[in-house]
A = this chain, B = another copy of it.
């Protein structure tokens, strides 16, 4: 017997047939004697429709009203799933954010969870009642409905799992797990059975798009194992048992991973742009001169590389920004050429960041060298490199994306040769 949180996204509850399929997954876990809380998203398409209404009502709409409107989608799904479960003879009830109460700050539209007062919810779970929880939403100290931002249902699920002390949080989605890389680029990509929180954070933020980054952070902080699996599997066939998992990926503490691979996955992050400042005076404060104005303009800077000239008097600073912020970033910097003191500015928009991720690389020298050699062998020029303990990222021309990913995937032995 375990206490579980199951989370189903919008495509998994897109219509009543799919909601019935979700109910079968829930039933399987209930029948196995587990306590089950289910977190649901809005039916696919309904959130977009509600967002459209808000925008049409006024482009500059009040985020509090936006949250009131948009959260209604999850309200509907939670009620429908409760009804379907009851019709199957399973005791169930829906919970809205304010009923739990899942308390957030008042940053409407992208609120952060502050506390979850789940005494009543826990009582009901202990009594065998399935809790069907509207994801994505909470309530502020002012008693207004808040939403956690796009993909916030993942965060709801993990936060609830932590609050009720769940043994695991199962994320049912439209893919059957986390892959070594994008299977559209590398058909031989393998599904990972297990991946550490740290690796998943690097992969998620680089575009794996299976889980919201915040939910992985939360899961890591509270050490909640997260199992990613497909909601379209046969609900009857695949009971998760002791060490017996259906197809999917378990995201867990490093200790839960027995065989640590040097490299777990390769991620490609498009939509990056590169900016290089040449001959910046190499003196204290110059980095602040560059990056403070960008931060003030709400532009996220990612890779930062600084090199110093031979005589040590000037430096070149290269960094990346989201492609959508490129023009704005260039403008911010050019408007203060004198203050920052650079001689020239260069930029490139057709670039891609390739990241090689693996907790094993901590203890293995030569992982980076292997990557550089593989890229060089194929004539791919590296524009910038950054490394962390478990990640090597290189910036290259986007035309080489597929070639680079495929080469690295193969070099690190990730290809599925079965």
Contacts and interface: CB of A to CB of B under 8 A. Distances in A.
Interface of A: 16, 19, 50, 53-54, 56-58, 60-62, 64-66, 68-69, 71-73, 75-76, 78-80, 82-84, 86-87, 93-94, 96, 98-99, 143-145
B57 A80 contact: yes
Contacts of A75: 68-69, 71-72, 75
Given A64-B93, A93-B64, A98-B98, A69 B58 contact: no
Given A16-B56, A50-B76, 4 more contacts: A54-B79, A68-B96, A69-B75, A75-B75
A83 B57 contact: yes
B65 A79 contact: yes
A19 B57 contact: yes
A86 B60 CA distance: 9
12 contacts: A16-B57, A19-B57, A53-B80, A57-B83, A58-B86, A60-B87, A62-B83, A62-B86, A65-B86, A65-B94, A71-B75, A98-B98
B62 A69 contact: no
Contacts of A84: 57-58
B53 A16 contact: yes
Nearest to A56: B16
B76 A53 contact: yes
A72 B76 contact: yes
B53 A65 contact: no
A36 B96 CA distance: 29
Contacts of A61: 83, 86-87
A64 B62 CA distance: 30
A47 to B, nearest CB: 12
A342 B141 CA distance: 67
A82 B65 contact: yes
Contact of A72 (B56, B57, B60, B72): B72
A87 B68 contact: no
Contact of A69 (B50, B53, B69, B79): B79
List 9 A-B pairs, minimum CB-CB distance, nearest first. Answer: A58-B87, A69-B79, A72-B72, A68-B79, A57-B83, A65-B79, A61-B83, A65-B82, A72-B75
Given A69-B75, A75-B72, A80 B54 contact: yes
Nearest to A69: B79
Nearest to A43: B53
A53 B58 CA distance: 29
B143 A99 contact: yes
A80 B99 CA distance: 23
A99 B60 CA distance: 24
A388 B410 CA distance: 92
A129 B381 CA distance: 61
A76 B144 CA distance: 14
Contacts of A54: 79-80, 83
Given A72-B72, A98-B98, A143-B99, A79 B56 contact: no
A67 B84 CA distance: 15
A69 B80 contact: yes
Contacts of A62: 82-83, 86, 93
A72 B75 CA distance: 7
B78 A68 contact: yes
Contacts of A73: 72
A87 to B, nearest CB: 4
A209 B69 CA distance: 30
Contacts of A82: 62, 65, 68
A416 B410 CA distance: 90
A65 B50 contact: no
A44 to B, nearest CB: 14
